[in-house]
Amino acid sequence: MNGGLTYTERMRRHFPWITLVSALLLVGMTDINFLSPENLLNLATDIVPLLVMAVGMTLVIYIGSIDLSSQSIANMATVLTTISLPALGVGSGLLVIAAGLLFGAISGVVTARLKVPSFISTLAVGGIALSVGQFASGQQALHMDAEQRKHAFGWIMGTTAGIPHELIVALAIVAVAWFIQNRMTAGRTFKAIGAAEPVVVASGIRVERYKILAFALSGMFAAIAGLMFSVRLSGGSPTLAEGFLLPAIVAVLVGGTPLTGGVGGVTNTLIGTMIVAVVRSSMLYLNIPATGQQIFFGLVLIVAIATTIDRSKLRIVK
Amino acid sequence: MFELQNVEKRYPGVHVLKGVDLKIGDGEIIGLVGENGAGKSTLMKIIYGAVQHDAGNVLVDGVPVHFRTPRDAMQMGVGMVYQEQSLISNLTVMENIFLGFEKPFIRFGAINWKRMSEAARKQLRKVKLDINPATITSRLTFSQRQLVELAKVLALEERVDGKLVILLDEPTSVLSKDEIELLFSLVRELRRRASFIFVSHRLDEIIDLSDRIYVLKDGAVVDVISADEAQIETIQKKMVGREINREYYRENRQIPYNKDDVLLELDHVTVAGRENDVSLKLHAGEVLALVGVEGSGREPILRTIFGMRKPEKGTVSIRGMTVRSFSASQSVSHGVGYIPRERKIEGIASGMNVFENMTLSQMKNYSKGGMLDIAAERELARDWIRRLSIKVASENVDCGNLSGGNQQKVVLAKWRSGGSEIILLDHPTRGLDIGAKEDVYEMVRDMSVDGVGIILVADTLEEAIGLSHTIAVIKDGEIRKWFNCQPGAKPSLYDLIQHMV
């Protein structure tokens, strides 16, 4: 029995992967080399930081909120990693993860306890994170010492059987997020909050705590994204991750997690991120300048939101 | 003259109005009475244009009209004075009075406040309210706001040709005795300007004010009584008008409860916003019904017990232990379960399946170190699907797609399977068909046998009488009267209504 599910509703679930396959085929038709394994592998590796950020973002959108601080937290993370690398070595990774958790948790507290809408609380926290990055870096690009980088994070950089470790790490992170979402009480609660928050309250669950947790995790994933990006580029700067935010939100929404939350999840975001990657590289094939990409993503974002949100959950939009 | 002819309204699965005829002469005041669920509010909504009827006619001065919005109705002279006041509290009185009808005061795109103020003063004079029209509405008392609302409707007078029809929905429920007198004398005076439809639970007021009284029951007008001949008891009989069927409520299964086993005690509890105190005791196996009219204060008591409201004074104790911190999660951990009135908003998470809904309140029991034991969850769901004969294909079905009765069973299973000993039932049979209602009654008896204490706010009085061991009649937030409801010696509807209104 699948009750009142209409045809379009059932199709909507399959929409993300159909989009991905069609996009791949479309670009493949203009240039068959695009579909070669090496190219696809490069494509996938290229978007690893975006994927990690989008996975974190997914958890927040899953509960029906939004996190606009991810890019700034990632920026801050690139700076903090680079600065602390000489002193802490691999511990610099733990430092930025902790920083990400902290900044995310602040967004969560402001949203859940002070009842500030998440788009504004995370915008504010993002502003703080950006400034921390600017202050710590002295407004300039910093570089890692090659030897130190190799010693601390060399394991991320290598390849095994032709597969970059970066990609493996990213997939492991997706797997962890998937486990949290599908197999842990926290993930179940996130889903319930997104689906029907009043029910969760009336079931005696402390909703605020779980909201804070979702934001904290999102902050942490953003920091990991920044960490991986800075290791890849061997340096940090308060603007290094510029241009990540919009594609990350697009990846989540195109993947099939609507802004109203409750459905979708990290596997959807995995597909959504790949769609973003394919679309982005297809622009290179079609000779669209990089500066024009954000125009495109902005438009896609509007379409993706408009077609996926559950309007029955929105009484008033301000 | 305003007339309804054979008006019908259906919602999915319910026939709300079954051919209603209603006639209001110019300057007439008619009363409209009926139990909860009799179709009063739907009828009102059709009259003032918030809901469209499916069949039948609405006639104004003999001409058929069709109201698509309340604004359409207002343009034909039909206006509503809302029970939940509809004024916007941060606007001034005059802005509220002319909200949406500012056009006559606009010159070159700007509002001429002076002229609006004068016009508002004129409207306020009609209701004998001497206040500055530029006052911010939130500064007014409740009864002043109600008069402003009446003035707002009376402002239609200058805009429409015919006479006005004004609906008053429970206008007296929060007024003091003097304020009620004032309102009534005003309404009587205004008869030369308008006719009124007066809806109230207080039958004495209805008889006092109206010329004729329409009695609505199960979506049909069962009688029209002239107020001169009307008596409270006869109206009550007509409102209820059916036999209590003992079998229907499983009275044969009602067993005495254990008087020594007190599960819950409220000691002089004052609920926020009301000046009253409530004391009650709930025993294991007891069904305690809270009975009262809409807005009498039953729900706040339930929500206080569930921890969603904090009492201002007094103590709540569960199994002899005083509750110190009030939150739903505290109450749930003390074994309180709440079956909310708004099943689709607070009861069932649509988009989640049966087992996810059932374990939502008790994930601790189905997880280890934060990791869910999904196999055990499924097992639980299958077990309860069988025990309550929930009609679903499997435990993986989205609860949003279940029928109301099956949804209610899932919510009940959620609390029962979690071992809740105190269950709060808020309108548990609302919107259910008869078969599903009987299932709920059966479950109530099962719970009593298992020693669960139940506090019930029932959908109808018969349901409260039929199911309960004890009834507390609540009026204005206070328990006015206790009744013992042993099978064979149950109080009658009329016994209860006396104390309710």
3-state DSSP of A262-278: CCCCHHHHHHHHHHHHH
Nearest CA in chain B to A185: B370
Please tell me whether residues B216 and B315 are part of one structural domain: no
A274 within a domain of the structure (yes/no): yes
CA distance B345 to chain A (A): 6
CB within 8 Å: B351 and A206: no
Tell me, yes or no, if A203 comes closer than 8 A to chain B by beta carbon.
yes
Asked whether B138 and B88 are in contact (CB, 8 A), the reply is no
B407 within a domain of the structure (yes/no): no
B184 within a domain of the structure (yes/no): yes
Please tell me whether residues B179 and B255 are part of one structural domain: no
B360 within a domain of the structure (yes/no): no
Contacts of A205 in chain B (CB under 8 A): 328-329, 360-361
CA distance B179 to chain A (A): 36
Number of domains in chain B: 2
Please tell me whether residues B205 and B298 are part of one structural domain: no
Please tell me whether residues B213 and B273 are part of one structural domain: no
Please tell me whether residues B11 and B131 are part of one structural domain: yes
A76 within a domain of the structure (yes/no): yes
pLDDT score, position B244: 45
CB within 8 Å: A183 and B371: yes
pLDDT score, position B414: 93
CA distance A118 to chain B (A): 22
Please tell me whether residues B111 and B215 are part of one structural domain: yes
Please tell me whether residues B334 and B438 are part of one structural domain: yes
Please tell me whether residues B112 and B210 are part of one structural domain: yes
B92 within a domain of the structure (yes/no): yes
B144 within a domain of the structure (yes/no): yes
Asked whether the CA dihedral A196, A198, A201, A206 is positive or negative, the reply is positive
Number of domains in chain A: 1
B354 within a domain of the structure (yes/no): no
Question: Rounded CA gap, A43 and A250, in Å?
Answer: 17
Question: Rounded CA gap, B247 and B254, in Å?
Answer: 11
Tens place of pLDDT per residue across chain B (501 aa): 899 999 998 876 567 888 999 999 988 999 998 876 678 888 999 999 988 998 999 998 888 998 999 888 988 889 998 866 788 889 999 999 998 888 888 888 898 899 999 999 999 988 888 899 999 988 888 888 888 988 888 888 888 877 889 999 888 766 777 888 888 988 998 888 889 999 887 788 899 899 999 998 888 898 899 988 888 878 877 876 654 455 678 888 888 888 888 999 998 888 876 677 889 999 999 999 999 887 788 888 898 999 888 888 888 999 888 888 889 999 999 999 999 988 888 899 988 999 999 999 999 889 998 999 999 999 999 999 998 888 888 899 888 888 788 899 999 999 999 889 999 999 998 777 667 788 889 899 999 999 999 999 988 888 898 899 999 998 888 888 899 888 878 888 778 887 887
pTM: 0.78
B371 within a domain of the structure (yes/no): no
Q: CB-CB: which of B331, B347, B398 is closest to A204?
A: B331
pLDDT score, position B153: 87
Instruction: Please report, for the domain that includes residue A159, its CATH number.
Output: 1.10.3470
What ipTM was reported for this prediction?
Answer: 0.85
Question: Range of B438's domain?
Answer: 251-348+420-500
Q: CB-CB: which of A195, A200, A206 is closest to B350?
A: A195
For B426, the 3-state DSSP assignment is strand
Please tell me whether residues B70 and B37 are part of one structural domain: yes
Please tell me whether residues B230 and B258 are part of one structural domain: no
Last residue of a domain, one of B188, B218, B240: B240
pLDDT tens for each residue of B383-392:
999 988 888 8
Question: Rounded CA gap, B428 and B339, in Å?
Answer: 7
Please tell me whether residues B124 and B209 are part of one structural domain: yes
The CA-based dihedral angle spanning residues B495, B496, B499, B501, taken in that order and rounded to the nearest 10 degrees: -120
Last residue of a domain, one of B208, B240, B272: B240
Last residue of a domain, one of B187, B207, B240: B240
Question: Range of A228's domain?
Answer: 45-308
Instruction: Please report, for the domain that includes residue B178, its CATH number.
Output: 3.40.50.300
Please tell me whether residues B204 and B258 are part of one structural domain: no
B230 within a domain of the structure (yes/no): yes
A38 within a domain of the structure (yes/no): no
> How does strand B194-199 pair with strand A159-160?
unpaired
Instruction: Compute CA distances B154 → A167, A208, B123, B149, B430, whole Å.
Output: 72, 47, 7, 9, 36
Tens place of pLDDT per residue across chain A (318 aa): 344 455 666 677 788 888 888 888 888 888 888 888 888 888 888 899 999 999 999 999 999 999 999 999 999 999 999 999 888 888 999 999 999 999 999 999 999 999 999 999 999 999 999 999 999 988 888 898 888 888 888 888 888 888 889 999 999 999 999 999 999 999 999 999 999 999 999 999 999 999 999 999 999 999 999 999 999 998 889 988 888 998 999 999 988 888 888 888 999 999 999 988 888 888 877 777 877 777 887 887 788 777 766 666 665 665
